[in-house]
Amino acid sequence: MEKIMTKEILLTGDRPTGKLHIGHYIGSLKNRVKLQNEGKYEPYIMIADTQALTDNARDPEKIKNSLIQVALDYLAVGLDPEKSTIYVQSQIPALFELTAYYMDLVTVARLERNPTVKTEIKQKNFKDSIPVGFLNYPVSQAADITAFKATVVPVGDDQEPMLEQTREIVRTFNRVYNTDILVEPKGYFPPKGQGRLPGLDGNAKMSKSLGNAIYLSDDAKTVQKKVMSMYTDPNHIHVEDPGQVEGNTVFTYLDVFAPDKDKVAELKEQYQKGGLGDVKIKRYLNKVLEEELGPIRERREKFAQNPDAVYEMLLEGSKKANEVANQTLQEVREAIGLNYFDRLNK
């Protein structure tokens, strides 16, 4: 008898706080498309609008306007609604009920110790004005993951503490309610050195707020202008000067994007000896980026011509996600003992 192979459930997503940039692309989106097309996984891709509201509640238009932009970026890079369920977090009510049940199993002290939360609270400068929803978002994230019984969650290295919090909630729930319905997820991390792309200005992080990003929606002229302004070696003033490769953003990008690694090695050697100008390596990087981003840009422009079709795709994905999450919610309610009226249906 032939053995039926079941696919692993994969879940990931993004906050809709603006268009996605090449840091998102190299850190997660490109890998998602690869995993989607391998056929070993059943991917659920979430646009986490509710999570975005935890620190943008007073600017809902930002979230609303960004939703379609993120969806367009998804489709442009190759995420396929025929292979992946792409849905909107706020349209799945079961997630919020699951969050409420999980909150009772986690202490405030545990949330405050979460390294990822501590770092982001500091970055956002909340001080004593931390929104409850923001502090609680590791619990909400646990609901997002367990609602679909995801076993694989592609994340950056800095998100491992969030996954561990989810695993703790799963273990606590299953132990307290004497069940095994919730599944512990494992992280799927990007290749070493590709988890985070530095900003154009040499800042350790590429981000929308710092204005140091190349967006997937940028046209060719904008990309070229940004590349030509990139941070290199401030001491490399003349072409004949020896240059520093380490910390040089242009070479960091070439290491990630350039397919010809031998040529990059040659350019590094020449740059370090002296005799290679910044303009030349920036022009080469621009060529490399255009080869990668050009087709993405063309697909994005095509999808953008019919926004109603994009919203329809999100609606259909949300309907499917709703069905799956509601099934898990029913199992959770039964495990806790909240199915008081099931006897009336017998």
Is 158 one of the annotated binding-site residues? yes
Is 34 one of the annotated binding-site residues? no
Q: Are 72 and 32 in contact (CB under 8 A)?
A: no
* pLDDT value for 2: 46
Q: End-to-end CA distance of the chain: give it in Å, rounded.
A: 36
Is 208 one of the annotated binding-site residues? yes
Is 5 one of the annotated binding-site residues? no
Q: Is 244 exposed, middle or buried (0-12, 13-18, 19+ CB in 10 A)?
A: middle
Is 236 one of the annotated binding-site residues? no
For residue 10, the surrounding DSSP H or E stretch is: strand 8-14
**Which three-class secondary structure state does DSSP give residue 191?**
coil
Token pair, residue 282, equals 């920036």
* pLDDT value for 147: 98
The answer for residues whose C-beta is within 8 angstroms of residue 89's C-beta and 6 or more apart is 13, 46, 47, 48, 49, 50, 51, 95, 144
CATH topology of domain 8-196+307-344: Rossmann fold (3.40.50)
- Tell me how crowded residue 281 is: count the other CB atoms within 10 A of its CB: 24
Residue 202 φ/ψ region, left for φ over 0, alpha for ψ in the -120 to 50 degree band, beta for the rest: left
Q: How far apart are CA 49 and CA 292, in angstroms?
A: 28
Is 90 one of the annotated binding-site residues? no
Is 192 one of the annotated binding-site residues? no
Residue located via tokens 């545990």: 110
* pLDDT value for 343: 82
Is 157 one of the annotated binding-site residues? yes
Residue 262 φ/ψ region, left for φ over 0, alpha for ψ in the -120 to 50 degree band, beta for the rest: alpha
The answer for residues whose C-beta is within 8 angstroms of residue 138's C-beta and 6 or more apart is 106, 111, 114, 116, 117, 162, 165, 166
User: What ranges do the domains of the chain cover?
Assistant: 8-196+307-344, 218-303
Token pair, residue 162, equals 């969030």
The answer for residues whose C-beta is within 8 angstroms of residue 110's C-beta and 6 or more apart is 165, 168
The answer for residues whose C-beta is within 8 angstroms of residue 198's C-beta and 6 or more apart is 204, 205, 206, 249, 252
Binned average pLDDT, 10 residues per bin, the chain of 346 residues: 70 95 91 93 97 93 97 98 98 98 95 87 83 92 97 83 94 98 90 74 79 94 96 90 92 95 95 93 97 97 98 98 98 96 82
Residue 2 φ/ψ region, left for φ over 0, alpha for ψ in the -120 to 50 degree band, beta for the rest: beta
Is 209 one of the annotated binding-site residues? yes
Is 30 one of the annotated binding-site residues? no
* pLDDT value for 3: 46
CATH topology of domain 218-303: Tyrosyl-Transfer RNA Synthetase (1.10.240)
Is 144 one of the annotated binding-site residues? yes
